[in-house]
Structure formats: structure tokens, C-alpha cells
Amino acid sequence: MAKRKEDNFCSPENAKRSRQEEVEDSDKDGDEDECTVSFTNGTSTLTAAEVGIIESIQLKNFMCHSMLGPFKFGSNVNFVVGNNGSGKSAVLTALIVGLGGKAIATNRGSSLKGFVKDGQNSADISITLRNRGDDAYRANVYGNSIVVQQHISMDGSRSYKLKSEAGAVVSTRKEELIAILDHFNIQVDNPVSVLTQEMSKQFLQSKNEGDKYKFFMKATQLEQMKEDYSYIMETKERTKEQISQGEEVCKNLMQRLTELKRQCLEKEERFEIIAGLSTMKTNLEHLKHEMAWAVVNEIEKQLNAIRDNIKIGEDRAARLERKMEEQQVRLNEAENKYKDIQDKLEKISQETNARAPECMALKADVTAKKRDYNDAEVLYNRSLNEYRALKKDDEQLCKRIEELKKSADQSLEPERLERQKKISWLKDRVKTLQDQESSVNQEIEQFQQAIEKDKEEHTRIRREELDVKQALNINQRHLKELKDSKTDRLKRFGPHVPALLEAIDDAYRRGQFTYKPVGPLGACIHLRDPELALAIESCLKGLLQAYCCHNHSDERVLQALMRKFYLPGTSRPQIIVSEFRNEMYDVRHRAAYHPEFPTVLTALEIDNAVVANSLIDMRGIETVLLIKNNSVARAVMQSQKPPKNCREAFTADGDQVFAGRYYSSEYTRPKFLSRDVDSEISELENDVENKKAQILNLQQHLSALEKDIKRNEEFLRRYQLRYKELKLKIRKSISEIQELENMEEHQSVDIATLEDEAQENKSKMKVVEKNMEQQKENMERLKSLKVEAENKYDAIKLKVNQLSELADPLKDELNLADSEVDNQKRGKRHYEEKQKEHLDTLNKKKRELDVKEKELEEKMSQARQICPERIEVKKSASILDKEINRLRQKIQAEHASHGDREEIMRQYQEARETYLDLDTKVKTLKRFIKLLEEIMTHRYKTYQQFRRCLTLRCKLYFDNLLSQRAYCGKMNFDHKNETLTISVQPGEGNRAAFSDMRALSGGERSFSTVCFILSLWSIAESPFRCLDEFDVYMDMVNRRIAMDMILKMADSQRFRQFILLTPQSMSSLPSSKLIRILRMSDPERGQMTLPFRPVNQEEEEN
């Protein structure tokens, strides 16, 4: 606790009485010492507080308020008054949260995000603390005020800004805020500093005596001290356990030291009697001499073998050179044959090309003559149609004239009216039929569109069904292969592979193969990382099922065996022809390298060099990287320059990545290299079931579409019939209208005019008939010309076809000759490669010879250093090496049986140092424990004395405060059971008749509670005190007395700040510049800022 700065306001008489009562309590507790407390009368003359008090506070979007403040508080007494909902409790809650308190400490919520106003994204709190005088915190940085700004986000996070008086941000770290609060002794979680309504209900209004005791301990910070002491005692007990363990270890080490010392003395005695080791060492030296010259002998033998191999290789090189010359002769013959056939074809082609212009010209002439004949035929047919029309008109005119002559005298008026009436009715009918036609046409179009859409959907679904069926067949076939492969792994490479391999073994036993073919290659390789299975399969593809043969003769035998197991037209495994070697190619100079990712070659375990060499030749697996992640593969191959010698890369998903291209894999799972067959079978079975369900759904969809199409087609057919019927009726009605309109009345007919028209029509018929005869003659002439041109064109076309027939067999011969040339070129390349490979091997042998000769010189030099004179050695180097190792083991066994004195001495020294070090640590810990026990005993006694002083002072203050209303009271502290009992007797009466506070009235209990709080205020240190609705249960008399007591204490403690929240108006308070009333207005709809108004108009002095 900090040092007190004020004197109390109690009278000496009251102090004396309280002291006597406390002595009685001390006797009852049995563990308290005396503690003196001095009191003085009169008003305090201390100045206003300089550090730690709250100058102002401002809230934004906090709880249910958009804007509150800024509130400027006085340095001594501040009343915040207002009705419920006006924001009083929000100010107190913001004070706790703004100074770093937890949300749960406010009893207003369990999370900070609950303080953000609904509909807003964040809340802001700004608190200004006074920072003046000698006790100011970093006054040169912050100035006279410290502004603490806190920003609360919607997600419950918060951030701080600590600003100086000038508004500059000094820090954003919470540690700086904690340092400021510690410096000012501000404790927002201490109920004496900030007492909320909920905290008051929890402790002060509680009927549990243990809760009151906890409130006292927390208010005086004795609870924190008690927890610290408990933690220290636990640490001390753990240290004692470590000391006990250390003493046990020391005891064991001491026993070990004694044993090592005894062994050391025994070894010294035994070494003195060892004899015989010198003889074994002499024999070992002699064997080393023989070993040196035995190595020389073996290198000389290797040199002779290499020289013999070089001689054989040179003879074979000569044979290969002769074969190369023979192959070149065969290639030249094939090329000459190809050239002769090509010349013949060129000659036929030239002749065909020479006839092509004539053929094209004749074809164009035939086309022109056909066009002229067709034009003449069109003119003739047009004249014929015109003649027929004129003839029909003539017949109608004659008929009409005769009719008019017969009916000239008849009256036609009734007939004309009837005809007009019928025309009108027919026109109305035509309009109705046309409307129906339009409606039916629209229906037809809609049905046609629906049918077309359904057919497109049917085609798409049918195609999708075929794709799914194809995938299902593949999966079922793969599933069957996997199930078969559980009993025989080779069946994964094809159902015929086990039988084919048996046939190969049988043929090899009968001597049909020079070397036994190797395959399938996928069965000869093993993965180092199973996750790369799909990547490697995507890279190697069909090579996993391929076989290797030593020469073309072996290939032909293997092809014959394959024909027995693979039907014609089905795909067979690839056969690679390459000379078998016992050593794998040295690809270090051309292999790709990356520090993080392997190549296909390094990702595989290949025991057979033939398999490795074949994959290097056919696929270049030393230049292909394997990168599991797709994006990383793109970055390595495309975002930067690819690694040296790297052509491409594959991902774990099987995707292929080049420097400028990216190809996705067609496969989703490995087929040949997967190890977990059961898992793959399970996945494939699930896929097969899913595919079957998908096919069933598609078939149901197809069936529904077919029904829709059939139904729509039936509707379409009906509407089309209806449309035809309407068309027919419309045409018939229009025809009747035209006939009725063309009929002329008899009265208006001029027979003479009709006769003139008939005469004119006959003249036209004669002209048209004459033209027809001329056009017919022209048409016959053009027809003969057309036939003549067609005959010429057919003749030239026949000659061109004959030339083409001559060229076809020559083209076949040319293809055969071309194939022969390719075969001879491949044969030549084969011998060139074999020659190059053989020369490389020969040169390698020569280089090996040079190396061996140098090695021989070195070994001879080393042998002369070991043994200057050459020794005739009959044993081989391996036998000598075994004898040397056996003799060395015997010597080491002798040493082991007698022990190593130096090793025992070393162990002894190490054990001794460990013992001394551990013994020193144990002694140091014992001294520390002893000192800690002394300090803790002294500290705990001080703690008890401090606790007794605080309880005594609290009792004295409480009794003195009660006496102001002529109450009597007693506080009993039971520190053993951690309870606090408060008894109060209101009014004058028998002092022995104390009763529990629960028997008091509401106002009396509230007054007693205020006395208890004021007692705690008097013994606790904090720059400000906040009390929420302290007078809520008091009557007017008790409220007045409690208010006077608080004001009196505040007057005596002007260096402290008091913030009191109450719903009362406080209008009866005396006017004083030390008292400031902040009156909160009732919130109105739409109001953003809640104003306050201080009662006194004087500004607080700075």
C-alpha cells in the first residue's frame, strides 16, 4: 500500500471509543497487534490533486449512445446526475474499459464487441488524465495531461493511442498504459476505486459474510499479496524436491567414484603382467608388408586384363567399320531405286499437268454450252406458256361474247346485289381464317422450337451418356485388373503378362534368346515417394508396359511370342532394342539438378541397369523434374529460367509443364505404380457405382426427353394439318371473291369491244407462235453443240484417268522404296551409334588403362615405403586383409579383457567433476531455501501486522462514521475462516444489543454500507473514487447525512477526486467551486450528443 497523505476528520472522543472496542476485538481474534491512528479536527488545507485524476472523458458509438461528452470533471467532487438511459453508467463503464479493464469487470458484457453500438463498426473512448507536479509521469514527453484513446472494433479487438497534451501520439502499446496506471496507482478493477451497481450487489448487499471479507481483501490489495505469498511457498516446495533428487544423485556418484578408483588400481596391476602382445604386433607388421605388395600384384593383373580387352575392342571396331561400309552400299542402292521410281512418277505427272489446261478449257466450254442451251430452253418454255395463256384468254372471250349475246335482254340487278353480299361475306370469312392461320403458325413455331431444343438436349445427353459409359468400361476393366493384381502384381500391366513372361522364360531356357528380355519396365522400378506415382506414370506412359531386347534377333522372337497372346488389331507392348550393359550410363554432366525437387531418375529405385539405360534413352528421365505443387512448378519452369538441363517437369497431379506451355493430365489416379491396391479398389468401386447411378439418371432424362419430343411432334402434326386446311379455305375463298369481282354486269358489257379484244388476242397468238418456232430451232442447234463439247471433254478426261491409273502402282512402289530407304538409314544410324558407343567404351578402357598405370606406380611407391624390397606373395589381398583384421580383433580383445587404464581415469575425472558441480548446486539451493524461509517468515509477519493495522483502522473509521448519526457498530474480522461480520445498532440504546445489518431498514442499511465504503476509502490509496447510485435505497434523512459525510471527506481529501453517479437532482447541494454537477439530459429521438450543464458557472482553475 502507498503512504497515506491525509489526516482523518474524526474527533478524539470517537477515536478513543473506537480504540477501546478494537482492543476487545483484538482479544477475540487473538492475532492482531496494536496500531496507532491519529485524527485531527478542522478542514483540510491540502491543495488540489496534481496527478492521476480524470480531467475529461468522451465517448463515440459506445453502448447505445452515438456521442457523449466531452465531460470535464472537477478536481474534487463530481456528481453525474440523470434519469435511467441518460448515459451515467455508460460513462463509468467507459472509464473501466478505457483504462484497460476487462469487459467482464464492468458487469455489462462478456466481450468488448458488445460495447459497440448496434449498426456501427467501432466505438471510441477518450480519457484525459492530469499529469502535473513533481510526481508527473514523463512530464517532458506528455506535458500536463495524458490522453488515453481506445478504439474498439466490431470483432472485439481494441487498440490504444497515448497522446501528449499537444495531441502528439507518444505510444500505442498497452505496456505503456500499464506503466502509467502503476505510476498513478490507478486500479480500475479495485472496487474501492470504481464501485459499480453490480459489484455493490455482489459484495456489499450480499448476506454472505465471506463476500464482505473478499471485498475488504480486494479493496486493500491484501488478496494480491496473499496470492503472491502462496505462489512463493509453492516454488519453495518444488525447490526442496529438486534438492532431494540432487542429494540422491550425489550419493550415486560417490559410489561410482569409489568403484572407478578400485578398477583403476586393478588395471595397473594387470598391465604389468601382460606379455605376448608384442609377438602379435610383429606378425601384424609382417602381414602389412605382404598386403602392400599383394595390392601391387592385383593391379598388375587388372592392367593385363584391360590390355586384352582393348585389343579385342580394336578388332571389333574394325568389324563395325566394315559393316558400316556394307550398310552404306545398301542405302545407296535403295536411294537409287527410289529416285528411278520418282522420275517415272514425275514424267507421268508432267504429262497429266500438260493435259490439264486443255481439260479445263473443254470443261469450261461444256459449261458455257449447257448454260446457252438452258437459256434457250427457258425462252422457249416462256413463249409456250405465253401462247397457252393467250389461247385460254381467246377461249374465254369467245365464250363470254356468246353468253352476253344470249342474256342481253335479261335483268341482272338482283344478281348483282346477291353477288355483292356474297363478296362481303367471303371477305369477312377470309379475315377470320387469316387470324386463325396466324395463331396456328405461331403455335407451330413454338412446337418446332421446343422440339429442336429437346433434340439438342437429347443429343448432348446421349453424348454425355456415351462418355460416361466409356469411362465406366475403363474403370471396370481397371478394377478387374486391380483385383487380379492382388494375387499377381504383374496382371496390373495386362491380363496376358504372367503367361507371356512364362513363355519368355521357357524360350530362354531353350536358347532362343541371346539375352533374356527384360520387362515390363514398370515392374522393374520402385518409387521412393508414393505421392509421385501419377507424375511418373504421366511421364513414362506406355514405357511402363514395354520390354527390352538385346538385339533385333531377340526382338523377332519376342514378337512371335506376343502374337500368341495379343489378337491382331489390338495394341501390343512396345519393344526397345538396345545392347544390354551391366553398368548404368553416367549422366551427371547432362542431368537436370534442383536443390529441392528430384528428377524422375533420382525418384526411382532401379536395380537393373538395362531398365535405367532404356528409360534414359527413350524418355530422358534424367532431364525431367518432379514438382508436387502446380503453382510451384509454374514458378520454377515459367516465371524464371528453368534449371540447367531441365526440359520439362511433371506435377503430382500428372500435369506436364514446359518453359512456355502447360498441359493438364488426362488421368486422375495411377494405374501401374500405386502401392495401396485396396484403397484404389475401394475408390474405383465407388467410382463405378457413381458412374452407374449417373448413367441411370441420364437414361431417365433421355426417356423424359423422348416422351416430350414425341408429344410435341404429335401436336405439331395436328397443327400443321390445321394450317393446311386453313390455307386451302383461304385460297378457295379468295378465288371465289376474284371470280365474283371479275364478273361484269350484262348492261355494261360492250360486245363490240370484246370482239375487238378477241381479234387483237389472235394477232398476238400468231406472233408468239412464230417466235416459238424460231426459239425451238435455236434450242436444237445449241443442243447439238452441247453434245459435241461433252464428247470432247469425256475423251480428254478418259486419257487423264488412264495416266492416273498408271501412276497408282508407281506410288505404291515409291512408298515401298521410301520405307526401304528409311530402314537402311535406321540400320546405318544403328551401326553408327554402336560404333560411337564402342569407340567411347574403347577410349574409356584406354583412359582406365592410364589411370591403372598411374595407380600401379603409386601403389608400388607406397609398397616400397612400407617394405623396400619386393616380397613374393602367394596369398591374395582379400585373404591377407581378413588375416590382418582377425589379428587386430585379437589384439583389441586382449586390450578389452584387461581394460583401458586411461579410459577409466577419464571416467573417474568426469564423474568427480559432475559430483563436485552437483554438490555445489545442492549446497547453494539449500542456502537459498534457508534464506527464503527467513525472508518469508519475516514478510508473513509483516503481512499479518499490516493486515491487523488495516482492519483496526477500518474499524475505527467505521465506528466514528456511524457515531455521526448516533449509531453504534462493530466489525469482526475472522482471518482464519475469511469472514467479516458487521453489526449495527441504530440510535441511542444498549451498546450490547448489536444486530446484524440484515435486521436494519433499507435506508439504515444503505447508510451503514456508505459508512463501510468511506472506511475503506480512508485506508485505500487511489487518485479517484467512483461510486454508482450510492443513495438509491436511502430516505431523505439518510441521504442527507451520507452526502454530508462524503462531502466532508472530500473536503478533507482535496488531493483526491470523487465521481458520484445518482439519479437524484442534487439541487440541495451548497454552491462551491469544489463541487461540479454534470446533469445528463434525457435522450431524444435522433439526438446524437447528450449535453450536460455544470451547476456552478466558474471554471476550474488550471
pLDDT at 266 (0 to 100): 58
pLDDT at 150 (0 to 100): 93
User: Tell me: the pLDDT tens digits for 900-921?
Assistant: 555 656 666 776 677 677 677 7
- Paired with 57 in beta bridges are 71, 127
Question: Three cell numbers at 373?
Answer: 442451251
Question: Three cell numbers at 241?
Answer: 524436491
The C-alpha cell 483540510 sits at 44
User: Tell me: the pLDDT tens digits for 806-823?
Assistant: 776 776 677 677 767 777
CA distance 164 to 154: 27
CA distance 164 to 150: 15
Look at strands 604-606 and 525-527 and give their pairing: antiparallel
pLDDT at 37 (0 to 100): 35
Q: What is the CA 561 to chain-centroid distance, rounded? A: 52
pLDDT at 442 (0 to 100): 84
Phi, psi dihedrals of residue 266, rounded to the nearest 5°: -65, -40
Convert 840-864 into a string of H (helix), E (strand) and C (coil).
HHHHHHHHHHHHHHHHHHHHHHHHH
What DSSP string runs through 661-706? -EE--S-SS-SSS-S-HHHHHHHHHHHHHHHHHHHHHHHHHHHHHH
Residue 463 burial (C-beta neighbours within 10 Å; 0-12, 13-18, 19+):
exposed
Q: What is the CA 128 to chain-centroid distance, rounded? A: 46
Residues of the chain with pLDDT under 50: 1-46, 272-275, 409, 411, 744-749, 989-990, 992, 1085-1102
Angle at 28 between CA 24 and CA 33, to 5 degrees: 75
pLDDT at 409 (0 to 100): 47
User: Tell me: the pLDDT tens digits for 684-740?
Assistant: 788 888 888 888 888 888 888 888 888 888 888 888 888 888 888 888 888 888 777
Side chain identity, residue 259: E
pLDDT at 953 (0 to 100): 87
Residue 1009 burial (C-beta neighbours within 10 Å; 0-12, 13-18, 19+):
buried
CA distance 892 to 898: 10
**What is the layout of strands, in order, in the sheet containing 995-996?**
968-974, 979-985, 995-996
Collect all residues with Cβ–Cβ distance below 8 Å to 834 and sequence separation of at least 6.
320, 579
The C-alpha cell 569409489 sits at 258
CA distance 790 to 367: 9
CA distance 892 to 900: 11
CA distance 332 to 79: 119
Q: Quote the pTM value.
A: 0.39
CA distance 660 to 166: 61
DSSP letter, residue 547: E
Residue 49 burial (C-beta neighbours within 10 Å; 0-12, 13-18, 19+):
buried
CB neighbours (10 Å) of residue 237?
A: 9
**What is the layout of strands, in order, in the sheet containing 1024-1028?**
194-195, 1024-1028, 1057-1062, 77-81, 1075-1079
Angle at 1043 between CA 1038 and CA 1045, to 5 degrees: 95
Q: Residue 665's closest CA among 545, 543, 536?
A: 536
Phi, psi dihedrals of residue 1076, rounded to the nearest 5°: -125, 130
pLDDT at 164 (0 to 100): 93
- Paired with 1089 in beta bridges are 67
Angle at 582 between CA 576 and CA 585, to 5 degrees: 70
The C-alpha cell 438436349 sits at 457
Q: Residue 469's closest CA among 694, 665, 684?
A: 694
What DSSP string runs through 796-854? HHHHHHHHHHHHHHHHHHHHHHHHHHHHHHHHHHHHHHHHHHHHHHHHHHHHHHHHHHH
pLDDT at 259 (0 to 100): 66
What DSSP string runs through 129-184? EEE-STT-SSHHHHTTEEEEEEEEETTS-EEEEEE-TTS-EEE--HHHHHHHHHHH
Q: Residue 624's closest CA among 539, 543, 553, 564?
A: 539
CA distance 510 to 77: 118
CA distance 398 to 495: 96
Q: SS3 for 971?
A: strand
CB 28 within 8 A of CB 970: no
CA distance 868 to 1042: 119
Convert 598-619 into a string of H (helix), E (strand) and C (coil).
CECCCCEEECCHHHHHHHHHHH
Look at strands 575-577 and 547-549 and give their pairing: parallel
CA distance 1025 to 766: 135
CB 1019 within 8 A of CB 950: yes
Collect all residues with Cβ–Cβ distance below 8 Å to 882 and sequence separation of at least 6.
none
